[in-house]
Structure 1
Amino acid sequence: MTGPRVAIAHDYLTQLGGAERVVLSMARAFPGAPIYTTLYEPELTFPEFRDLPVKPSPLNRIRTLRQRHRFALPLLPAASSAVHIDADVVLASTSGWAHGFRTNGRLIAYCHSPARWLYLADQYLGEQPGWVRPALRAMHPALLHWDQQAARRPARYLANSTVVRDRIKTAYGRDATIVHPPHSIDASAPRAPIAELNGWGDPGIRHHLLVSRLLPYKNVPEAIAAFRDLPGQRLLVVGRGPLEARLRADLPGNVRILSGISDAQLRWAYAEAAAVIATSFEDFGLTPLEGNAFGVPTLALRAGGYLDTVVDGVNGSFFEQPNAEGIRAAVVTNLEHRWDRDRVRRHADRFSEEAFAAALREEVEQVWRASGG
C-alpha cells in the first residue's frame, strides 16, 4: 500500500526567518512534496527554495507585493482562499494564511501563532507609521471573519510551543498538539569569518549575537541601548527589516548590524559568540537552540517560546523585562558564569530535525488513516 500524497503550504516565502527554516525541514521530511504559497521572492528568502517545487499563487505576478508582502494584506484573504491543493494531506506552516488554503484532502495546520496582526496587534505593530493602525483597524472585522472561518478547515492543529498551543485554544477554540520545531543549523559544517568585522573592537573579547528580523516587537533597539552602556563588550545584530535605517542612524561603535550574510558566516557568528541575546516575545524562537548547537548559551526574555527551550542554568539564563537595564544586567552577570558547553550542546540535540520529521510523519499518517487512506 502506498502512502499519502503530501503537499506543504506556507503563508509567503519572502523572508529569512525561523518559519521559513521550518518549511525547509518539512521539505526534507517529505522529499518531492510541492510547496504552495501566496508569494515567493527567491532573493529575499533562503536559497535552498530555488531547488524545490515552489508553487506561488497568481498574486505573485505583482513584483511590489513579492518584495513587500505587508502591502498585500487586503488581498491575502481572497488570494489564500483561491489556492487549491490536490493532495491527500497538506501540511500547512502558518501564522495567518496557509491554514485557509483549500484542498481536496486533509489539512494539518502547523501553527507558529494565530495571526499577530489580529490577536496581538499592539505587540506586533509597535512603532509603525501613523496610518498603519487606522488601516488595520478598518480591515480588522473582515480579516477576523476570514481567519475564524479558515480556522475550521484544518483536521488537526499542531503548535510549535506551549504559549502558541494556549493562543490557538483562545483564538480558535481548537486543541493542539505541541511539536517543537527543530534547529536546522549544522554546527559541524564549514564556517567563514565575516570580513566586515575585521578591526572591530578587541578581538580577545567575544561578541554577543542577536539574530532577528528588525521589527518592533523583536526589541532590538533595547538590546542596542543596553550595549551602548557596555563599551567594553560588542553586540552583533544579524537581520533586516523595517527598523534597519532608523537603527543604523544612531548606532554605537560597539554594535554592528549585518544582513544578507551566508550560512557559513552565520555559523561563524554563532561559534564565536559569548552568548546569544534573545529579546523578543517569540512564539518559539530558534536562535537560542542554534547558538546552543555550538555550545553557546542564551540570555533570553522570560516569556513565550523561550520557556520551552531555555532551561535556566543549563543552556542559558533569563532576564525579566525586554528593556536596556534588564538586558545589560544579564550580560554583566553572564560574564562571570562558566558554562558547560558540552551540556549546552546536548540540550540542543533534543530539538533535532530527525525528531521533528518523525513527529510530522506520524501526524500525517494518523490524519490520512482517519480519512480512510
Structure 2
Amino acid sequence: STELLKWYDGHARELPWRVSPSARAAGLLPDPYRIWLSEIMLQQTTVAAVKAYFLKFTALWPTVVDLAAAEDADVMAAWAGLGYYARARNLLKCARVIVAEHDGKFPTDRAALQNLPGIGPYTSAAIAAIAFDHAETVVDGNVERVMARLFDLHVPLPNSKGALTSLAASLTPQTRPGDYAQAVMDLGATICTPKSPRCDLCPWHSICAARKAGTAADLPRKLPKLKKPTRFGTAYVALRSDGAVLLERRPERGLLGGMLGWPGSEWSETLTDPIPPIQANWVEVPGEVRHTFTHFHLRLRVMVAEVEAHQTNQTFIAAQDFRPADLPTVMRKIWSMVAAET
C-alpha cells in the first residue's frame, strides 16, 4: 500500500468530486455529498459520461439539503441520458431521508450508510473510505481486475468476486484508506487497463504474479455472457397544430420509471397490434429505433400523427415547455427520427 500511495501522490486523476492527495494532506476534507453523488452516478457509467452531469447537479443543487428540496421532475430531467433511472429516484429518496432523519448530515459508518435508499455494499464502502477515511475495502471493476492480476487468480467472474474482495481486503491499509481506495481504482483505470496493461509503469510491477506468469492480459477471466433477447414495441408521437406534443410520465416502478416519454405499447418478444393513445390518422415513420438496455435489445416502430389544437388532453406539453434533452435516450432517438421526417 505504501508503494501505491506514493504512486497516487504523483499520478492521481483530477476529478471534480475528488480532493487531491496534497489538498487532503493540507487538511481539506472531502464533501460526503459530492462523494455520494459521484458514486451513485458512476454506477454502471463511465467517468467521462458522469463529469458533465455531476457539474450540472452540483450547480443546481450544491448541497444535499438543496437536492432534497428539489422537484422530482426537475431531478429526473437533469438525469435524462445518464440511464438506470432508478438511481435518480433513489437519489431523491436518500437525500430526503438524510435531511429528515440525519439533520442533513451523512452517517459516517458503513452500516448506517447502507441503510439509506440506493446505497449498497460497494457505495457504502466507498463513501465511508473516501469521505470519512475509514479502512473499508472498496471493490469495483477496476479493483477486481487489479487484484486478479496481482494474485494471478484465474477463477472467472462473477464466481471469483468473493475471493477478489478478500484479496483486496488483505491489502487495505489503516493509514490513508480513502486515498488508497482511490489509488487502486486509478491504477486500474489508467495503468492496469483491460487491454494492453502498461506494466512497465505500474508501482506493483515487481510483485505482480500475473506479470511474472505472462497472463496479465488474459485476466480477469469471465464466464461467457448470455445472449441478450430482442424486444419489440410501438411508440406514438402526436404533434398538435400549435406545436404541443403528447407525452406521458412512466410509472415509478420499472424501466425508465418516473421519466417522460412517448406513449406506446408494451415491449415484448413479439410485435403486437397496440391501441393508439388517441384517435388520429397515424402514419408509420420509415425505419425503426434501436436501443440496447442492460438485459435486452429494443426495436421500436414509430407512428406519428398531426392533431388539431383543440386536443386538450392533459398530457400534451406546450411547445415552449418541451425540451427533448429532458427525455431519456431512447425517447430522444424517437423524437430525432420524427423530427427528421416532419
Bin for the TM-score computed over the shorter chain:
under 0.3
| Structure exhibiting the larger radius of gyration computed from Cα positions | 2
More strand, by proportion: 1
TM norm structure 1: 0.25
TM norm structure 2: 0.26
* Larger RCO (CA under 8 A, 6+ residues apart): 2
